[in-house]
Structure 1
């Protein structure tokens, strides 16, 4: 996959708009009842990077980043300021934030996930772009040391333990993460006059599957 392990300037993504989207097929029957189904197991996020532009220097940084990614060709990391931690945005990641797996005594590598819960329902999101140095892991609540007890692949979100966790052991982690995205257009239309008048350019960004 053509992906650059570089983050879109966080100062520019701050103030952007966007969030998750789902795809649901809705069929209305003759009785008026509905049948609903989805072809997507996971949501996909979209953002508008143009809303974070505040100065002509910001526009210059945007254009440089866009050109270096060759438009839509190369993906990159994006900080979603409303959802970038394993805990609440106001909190500090803790090794017990997310239960990511249960040991079987054999498996050493596990995928980082983040669970979203509401009532009796929940959704497990795959976390593929953790921020380097932010991951804290624990087995049965006992915090481990990165580099000694486990390693983290920040390009895939895989955490690998030096020794397989025992069968039945709860494996948990806390972390910060980015969203893998690409530009959703091969062009950026800018107008200095419009920008100075308060009109931001339209710069669509869409999540990519890793």
Structure 2
């Protein structure tokens, strides 16, 4: 008998474990070396996919129990969830505090009322623009033409969409600052826990992979 399972949960993976996790973005690149000696390089996907191993963040039996509880509540791989990347979780530079001017998310045209949160890596036309779908809702700050606004707009923490009650004026720059999570799922069906091995210094592997919610 099969069972309908929620595709994504807004629950966040235990923070004390996530801040000790290893991992980061992965790019898939096909490389063909031509007879001339030159290479033809092609990326298979527009966006990188982040992979993590939360096993390196487990420091105690209490951490293991918290992960076990979280794993069971998500039913393993079927349900996605929020994960706080220990290195990249804010719209600003590492070590700073978000401001409403951190990231450009659009320009008003007098008609559009919804804008999606993004984060840029690099400068100019070569910058990579990453969609941010899971902001921490209570941290999002929005500015229009350099002036922070607190009324007349709402942010959906489940999608990263900023909705204005009235469309920003034509040519008005819309910017944002925020904390955010990465949508991931467990990349395993079995969580193998050996208490004796853990006490001897062996930490279990707990693979996570980014998903598109």
Following the alignment from structure 1 to structure 2, what is the Cα–Cα distance between the partners of residues 119 and 102? 16
Aligned residues: 208
List gaps (5 residues or longer) in structure 2. 1-5
Question: Is the counterpart of residue 122 in structure 1 residue 127 in structure 2?
Answer: yes
- Which residue matches 2:76? 71
Question: Is the counterpart of residue 168 in structure 1 residue 179 in structure 2?
Answer: no
- Which residue matches 2:212? 209
- Which residue matches 2:10? 5
1:102-158 deviation digits (Å, cap 9, x = unpaired): 11110000000000115862100000000021000000001100xx22100000000
Which consecutive aligned stretches of 4+ in structure 1 deviate over 4 angstroms post-superposition?
Answer: none
1:21-59 deviation digits (Å, cap 9, x = unpaired): 111111111222110111201111000011111111111
Following the alignment from structure 1 to structure 2, what is the Cα–Cα distance between the partners of residues 162 and 119? 31
List gaps (5 residues or longer) in structure 1. none
Question: Is the counterpart of residue 151 in structure 1 residue 154 in structure 2?
Answer: yes
- Which residue matches 2:3? none
Following the alignment from structure 2 to structure 1, what is the Cα–Cα distance between the partners of residues 44 and 212? 15
Following the alignment from structure 2 to structure 1, what is the Cα–Cα distance between the partners of residues 136 and 82? 10
Question: Is the counterpart of residue 200 in structure 1 residue 194 in structure 2?
Answer: no
Q: CA RMSD in A?
A: 1.2
1:167-186 deviation digits (Å, cap 9, x = unpaired): 11100000000000000011
